[in-house]
Amino acid sequence: MSLLKVEGLSKEFGGIHAIEDLSFTINPGTIHSIIGPNGAGKTTLFNLITAVYTPSCGKILFDDKDIAGKKPYELAAMGMSRTFQNLQIFFNMPAIENVMVGHHLHLNRRFLPSFLRLPSVIRKDRECRDYCASLMEFVGLAKYVTADAAQMPYGALKRLEIARALAAKPRLLLLDEPAAGLNATESREIDEVIKKVAQTGVTVVLVEHDMKMVMGISDAILAIDYGRKLAEGTPAEVRANPDVVAAYLGAH
Ligand code: ATP
């Protein structure tokens, strides 16, 4: 059974078809990457899967349940977590409290009204703090457990966001360009973190421009261009696909 199923999905912005008649499935326990040139529709697709956007048509099933009409936090409660292309860090808070926000959502989101789902009401007890510290260690940030977020380098903040997404205890983790802006060493660290996450049984969907990372880490790849499916398969299959090569070389 697939964890995520996308059927005939389309999203229009005015006259622009950002996503057009896209169908694919993601099996549990895999790392599935979505690639495509700039403007291909990758972030729009993430925003549709996480209910930030409403589809123009088509359907998305998470765990066999239609997500139509769900709010992003309801999907989080169902086990879907994500990071964003641009940093979404609370710079006025300690690093660990950024992670605690994610854990807070896991603990309370079923019961709290939306106005209480705010960083100001996060749990700060020892158990929560210890759990979030263990997540920071898991992503290689042990030395920043007592740091303020504002003191951390960019590469570490990208991993802090992964820790916060994990704090919501997802079954499906969507990562939007986790290696963007990172140097080779930092990219390798992210690569390791993603593999470790997958080893814990979390299914990962990755949008990433770093082809070395994508080709090395993915069980399956979906290539899109102009919002449409270009190719799908193993890294070797997608790399050899002439349409993918043409899209990346700008030959059409
Ligand atoms: P990149 O790799 O550069 O991040 P992408 O593959 O994530 O690009 P999207 O950001 O999803 O691509 O954009 C797909 C298309 O939809 C682009 O033509 C973009 O201009 C358009 N688009 C995206 N969001 C909106 C919006 N909110 N309003 C209007 N057009 C949008």
First to last CA, the chain: 36
Does the CA dihedral 144-145-149-151 come out positive or negative?
A: negative
- At residue 115, the pLDDT reads 47
Question: What residue's CA is closest to ligand 1, atom 17?
Answer: 39
Of 141, 172, 184, 166, give the one whose Cα is nearest residue 64: 172
pLDDT tier for residue 17 given thresholds of 50, 70 and 90: very high
**Residue 48 Cβ < 6 Å to ligand 1:** no
The arithmetic mean of pLDDT across residues 63-88, rounded, is: 91
pLDDT tier for residue 105 given thresholds of 50, 70 and 90: low
- How much distance in Å is there from the Cα of 49 to the middle of ligand 1? 15
- Answer left, alpha or beta for residue 209, where phi above 0 means left and psi between -120 and 50 means alpha: alpha
> Ligand 1 atom closest to Cα of 44?
11
The arithmetic mean of pLDDT across residues 72-97, rounded, is: 91
- At residue 205, the pLDDT reads 98
pLDDT tens, position by position, 152-201:
999 999 999 999 999 999 999 999 999 999 999 999 999 999 999 999 99
- At residue 190, the pLDDT reads 96
Structure tokens that stand for 211 in this block: 């082809």
Report the alpha-carbon distance of residue 9 to residue 57 in Å, rounded: 6
The rounded mean pLDDT for the chain is: 90
Residues in Cβ contact with 161 at an 8 Å cutoff, skipping those fewer than 6 apart: 83, 84, 87, 88, 89, 178
Burial of 11-29, coded b for 16+ CB within 10 Å and e otherwise, reads beeeeeebbbebebbbeee
Q: In the chain, pLDDT over 70 holds for what percent of residues? A: 90
**Nearest 10 degrees: Cα torsion 34, 207, 180, 75:** 170
Report the alpha-carbon distance of residue 74 to residue 148 in Å, rounded: 30
pLDDT tier for residue 111 given thresholds of 50, 70 and 90: very low
Does the ipTM exceed 0.90? yes
At 100, which helix (H) or strand (E)?
Answer: helix 95-108
**Residue 43 Cβ < 6 Å to ligand 1:** yes
